[in-house]
A = this chain, B = another copy of it.
Amino acid sequence: MKALVYHAPGKRSWEEKPRPAIQQPADAIVKIAVTTICGTDLHIMKGDVPTVTAGRTLGHEGIGVIAEVGRSVSTFKPGDRVLISCITSCGICEACKKGMYSHCEQGGWILGNTIDGTQAEYVRIPFADTSLYRVPGGADEDALVMLSDILPTGFECGVLSGAVKPGDTVAIVGAGPVGLAALLTAQLYSPAEIIMIDLDDNRLAVAKDLGATQIVNSTGAKTVDRVLELTHKKGVDVAIEAVGVPATFELCQDIVAAGGHIANVGVHGESARLKLEKLWSHNITITTRLVDTVTTPMLLRSVTSGKLEPRKLITHEFKLGDVMKAYDTFGNAAKEKALKVILRAE
């Protein structure tokens, strides 16, 4: 079969590889129907993720059809259409029993990281019963690919950890795909205001279309002033960090109201300054989280019932065989005005 393989920083190819086989009784083999590329895949291509070694098939998102199941898989059979979760969960360990699948002792984020991933014609999924979700009949499968990673990430790490409530004022720092996923899912809790903050006017315009009530271009130094002005000097109830650099995390500290939440979604490569000299008495809550995908069934119901429209995040479509070109487009997101790219098997 064909797969998108990482060889070294900057080096990838769409190449022939052996089709994966069942290794454990709880495995399933899934034939990919639709997949996509994540910002994390770009980080891998830069060499920023040391757990990914040469020869690895990338990708941790997708929809497909069960081709084969191990002997202990009880809820899926060949022919079933399934949503693949970016997080693999054994369902047995202490972390899984707490619903913290991200820290599953044998799973977590392993697809396209420590085992071969979904940007391929076939993929092996360990612990299939607890890591795959049945696709409802008649569903928009392109839209559902957004539920493999970015929707639960924006929702769990941003909206739920940030405890967004009706009537709240929310700021989301970063209008990339995950920030926009937080924007879409925050609206499930009907905050009064959502202020979207980014450097890119195109992404801010998209955010406005997707439900932001205010947009702030953070180029220049006046961002904090502008947010305080929009909030009558009080700051925001919830600040969602969806970039992953110290400056944006520190911005969140400057705009959060007393009693508020900072919910970190971004992937960080270095420490940030925590302004405890101000915050110690400010009654705030800061959360970090790797997505657990515990909300996938709820998000599926919300998409099916039309409360959530993740299709709006899709800007480009490619054939799976054109994944090399899709990487180029997604890698030039600002210029290409790319959010999520869909890769469809033929």
A-to-B contact residues, CB < 8 Å = 25-26, 71-72, 74-75, 90-92, 94-95, 97-100, 102-103, 129-130, 161, 165-167, 187-190, 192-193, 213, 244, 246, 249, 258-259, 264, 266-277, 279-290, 292, 294, 297-299, 301-302, 304-305, 307-308
Contact = CB atoms under 8 A, between A and B. Distances in A.
A35 B106 CA distance: 33
A263 B274 CA distance: 14
Contacts of A193: 305
A73 to B, nearest CB: 9
23 contacts: A25-B72, A92-B129, A92-B130, A167-B299, A167-B302, A167-B307, A187-B190, A188-B189, A192-B305, A193-B305, A246-B276, A267-B281, A269-B277, A271-B273, A271-B274, A271-B276, A271-B277, A274-B274, A279-B288, A283-B292, A284-B288, A285-B285, A285-B286
Contacts of A98: 259
Contact of A192 (B90, B129, B304): B304
B283 A288 contact: yes
B276 A26 contact: no
Contacts of A130: 91-92
Q: How many copies does the complex hold?
A: 4
Nearest to A71: B25
Q: Is the interface of A mostly helix, strand, loop or mixed?
A: loop
A245 to B, nearest CB: 9
A257 to B, nearest CB: 9
A272 B250 CA distance: 12
Highest count of chain B CB atoms <10 Å: which of A246, A280, A287: A280
Given A92-B130, A189-B166, A258 B103 contact: yes
Given A91-B92, A165-B298, A270-B276, 6 more contacts: A95-B259, A166-B188, A268-B280, A281-B290, A285-B287, A286-B286
A324 B100 CA distance: 45
A89 to B, nearest CB: 9
List the 7 shortest-distance A-B pairs measured between CB atoms, nearest first: A72-B72, A167-B298, A268-B276, A192-B305, A281-B290, A274-B274, A166-B188
Contact of A297 (B94, B267, B308): B94
Nearest to A100: B259
Nearest to A290: B281
Contacts of A244: 280
A38 to B, nearest CB: 15
A188 B191 CA distance: 8
A103 B46 CA distance: 46
A95 B289 contact: no
A190 B189 contact: yes
A263 to B, nearest CB: 10
A277 B165 CA distance: 29
A331 to B, nearest CB: 23
Contacts of A274: 249, 271-274
